[in-house]
Amino acid sequence: MKNRKLKNSELNRKSVSAFKEAQKTPIVIVLDNIRSLNNVGSVFRTADAFLVQKIYLCGITATPPHRDIQKTALGATDSVTWEYAEDAIALSRKLKEDGIKICAIEQAEDAVMLNDFSPERDEMYALVFGNEVKGVQQEIVTMSDTVIEIPQVGTKHSLNISVSAGVVVWDLFSKINK
User: What pLDDT sits at residue 121?
Assistant: 85
Q: Which amino acid is at 94?
A: K
User: What pLDDT sits at residue 2?
Assistant: 86
Q: Which of 34, 37, 55 is nearest to 46 (CA)?
A: 55
Q: What is the CATH number of domain 21-176?
A: 3.40.1280.10
pTM of the full predicted structure? 0.95
Ranges under pLDDT 50 in the chain = none
To 10 degrees, the CA torsion angle through 52, 136, 92, 173?
20
User: How far, CA to CA in Å, does 28 sit from each of 43, 77, 155?
Assistant: 11, 14, 31
Q: Indicate the domain borders of the chain.
A: 21-176
Give me the long-range contacts of 78-81 (CB less than 8 A, separation at least 24).
78/16, 79/14, 79/16, 79/19, 79/20, 79/48, 80/19, 80/44, 80/47, 80/48, 80/52, 80/54, 80/55, 81/20, 81/53, 81/54, 81/55
User: What pLDDT sits at residue 87?
Assistant: 98
User: What pLDDT sits at residue 157?
Assistant: 86
User: What pLDDT sits at residue 1?
Assistant: 64
Quick: pLDDT tens for 80-126: 999 999 999 999 999 999 999 999 999 999 999 999 999 998 999 99
